[in-house]
Amino acid sequence: MTDVIRRTRAMLHELQTYRRKRIPLTDGQKRLLELLEAGLTIDEANDTTKDRSQEATA
């Protein structure tokens, strides 16, 4: 579980840095940032985005 937490914190930090430096985020990055800031882990967030993309193609 610590690997998931480490990866989650790293991604959250990276996306927050982009936002702070005003580097434009893609829609997917914005959604991921929202999910991570809401407290989901990187794996949970990825599962959520996969579910949404599958619903969109169905």
Q: How confident is the model at residue 1 (pLDDT cuts 50, 70, 90)?
A: low
Query: Which tokens go with 45?
Result: 């967030």
Confidence label for 58 from pLDDT (cuts 50, 70 and 90): low
The model's pTM: 0.76
For position 11, what pLDDT does the model report? 95
pLDDT, mean of residues 46-57: 73
Q: What pLDDT was estimated at residue 56?
A: 66
Domain that holds residue 17: 2-57
- Give the Cα-Cα-Cα angle 32, 37, 39 (nearest 5 degrees): 100
Q: Is the pLDDT assigned to residue 38 strictly greater than 90?
A: yes
> For residues 40 and 21, what is the distance between their CA atoms, to the nearest angstrom?
24
Number of domains in the chain: 1
